[in-house]
Amino acid sequence: MDKTELVILGGGIHGVGVAQAAAAAGYRVLLLEKSALAAGTSSRSSKLIHGGLRYLESGQFHLVRENLRERELLLQLAPELVHRTTFYIPLYQGSSRSPWMIRLGLWLYDLFAGLTKVPRSSRLAPAEWASLSGLQTRGLKAVFSYSDAQTDDAALTRAVMRSARQLGAVICCPASFTSAAIYDDHCVVNYRVGDSEKSVQCLAIVNAMGPWGFRMASRTTPPLPDYAYECIEGTHIECPGCGLTAAFYVESPSDRRGVFILPWGDRTLIGTTETPYYGHPDQLAPTQASIDYLQKIYQHYFPAHDTTVLDAWAGLRVLPKASSLPFNRPRETRIAVNDPNNPRFLSILGGKLTGYRLTAERVVQQLQKVLPKRTPIADTAQLRLEPSDD
């Protein structure tokens, strides 16, 4: 049987992040991905590298501060893949948030980002409203601007895997994980490549299968508990560009949720929805109701734009089960282990694209309990990320 030290299941941003961090820490790594890098959630996000302004409202200050630090780091490490974008928040008669609330939130956001480094948020003079790409000005009370960052999520994922490979990590794709056995001092991972069944022995396993990975009971020996998580669908639509160069964070007129209207290449990207999803992740597709909901928001705020839907796609957030609305649930990443004293099977639950590097470092730190001591060969906080054609 083949042997390695760490097997990672899933080639989304978390899987490749752990591959990079573990290889940088000096370990032998094999990553298994069943279809293609970033084939899952990591190509279906809103493509923002951000602190998550709205998480301030639910008091997730720690998460926002951490993600803002990671945003600044990624802007340095991946200048070809992550770029700053100006965001506007328009407030109308009847908006659920008041100007002082937005002002306070943006002040905190600036503060957490490090006041000196980042373009500061501000309130636009009414004379400037006319230059906002055709934004509806009827009933407009105030417009605030702030700075955040955008990326191509799939390209970022490929770039991190490229870095991991340069450090010695091996990827097997397409390769579909089928089951694992966890013993006191090692693990065995079984997977399928085409028609062949294969096995590899390792010291630890990281489950980074996102929406495919939180029900493991039937796939591991001994069976691990199913985690109390659920999938929440998020749809985006793509419309013609119409000259949009900045991003807008608007409130849905029907239910007051925050929705982004973003420049995306020569198109405009509008998202997202939040609907519980009970089907299999492989069968996910945007519903007509989600598409209509987003198109109506775009029409409402940009009445003169061409709002033809050119494309629509959906991704799945993995959120803790709760009775509260998905919008208000915690977005912290959880690392679940089979046994805190002997962590040989770690699952990454939830999380953000933006915080992937920090999550990966935390995973590798936990694995130190079962992996041999090594001298690191690199530091992920200093490794440049270059676009990759893989």
Does 176 interact with ligand FAD (rule: CB under 6 A)? yes
Q: Does residue number 206 form part of the binding site for ligand FAD (CB under 6 A)? A: no
By CB neighbour count within 10 A (0-12 exposed, 13-18 middle, 19+ buried), where does 258 fall?
Answer: middle
Q: What residues contact residue 339 under an 8 Å CB cut-off, 6+ apart? A: none
Instruction: Examine residue 14 and tell whether it contacts ligand FAD (CB under 6 A).
Output: yes
Smaller CB separation from ligand FAD, 131 or 218: 218
Distances (CA, A) of 112 to 61, 186, 275, 329, 367: 9, 42, 30, 21, 30
Q: Does 10 bind ligand FAD (CB under 6 A)?
A: yes
User: How many positions of this chain bind ligand FAD (CB under 6 A)?
Assistant: 37
> Per rule CB under 6 A, is residue 208 in the interface with ligand FAD?
yes
In the complex, the smallest distance separating the C-beta of residue 290 from ligand FAD, rounded to whole angstroms, is 11
Q: Are strands 275-277 and 229-240 parallel, antiparallel or unpaired?
A: antiparallel
Q: Does 11 engage in binding with ligand FAD (CB under 6 A)?
A: yes
Question: Structure tokens of 235?
Answer: 């749809």
φ/ψ (deg, to 5) at 172: -120, 115
Exactly one of 6, 7, 9, 25 binds ligand FAD (CB under 6 A); that residue is 9
Q: How far is the CB of 341 from ligand FAD (least distance, A)?
A: 25
Residues 32-51 that bind ligand FAD (CB under 6 A): 32-35, 39-42, 44-48
Give the Cα separation of 160 and 237 in Å (integer): 27
Name the segment binding ligand FAD (CB under 6 A); options: 29-37, 76-84, 89-97, 283-291. 29-37
- Tokens 């489950």, located at residue: 207
Report in angstroms how near the CB of residue 175 gets to ligand FAD at its nearest: 6
143 burial type by CB count under 10 A (0-12 exposed, 13-18 middle, 19+ buried)? buried
Alpha helices in the chain (DSSP H): 13-24, 61-77, 99-113, 153-166, 288-301, 356-367
189 forms part of the interface with ligand FAD (CB under 6 A): no
Closest-CA residue to 177 (of 343, 7, 38): 7
Q: In this structure, what are the phi and psi dihedrals at residue 286, rounded to the nearest 5 degrees?
A: -65, 140
Q: Which of 144/191 has CB closer to ligand FAD?
A: 191
Rg value, the chain, Cα = 22
Stretch that binds ligand FAD, among 8-16, 86-94, 163-171, 284-292 (CB under 6 A): 8-16
Q: Which is nearer to ligand FAD, 140 or 228 (CB)?
A: 228
From 151, 191, 91, 215, select the one nearest 387 (Cα to Cα). Answer: 151
Interface mask (CB under 6 A) for ligand FAD, residues 261-290, using x and -?
-----------x------------------
Residues lying near ligand FAD in the complex (CB under 6 A) = 9-15, 32-35, 39-42, 44-48, 176-177, 208-212, 234, 272, 315-317, 348, 351-354
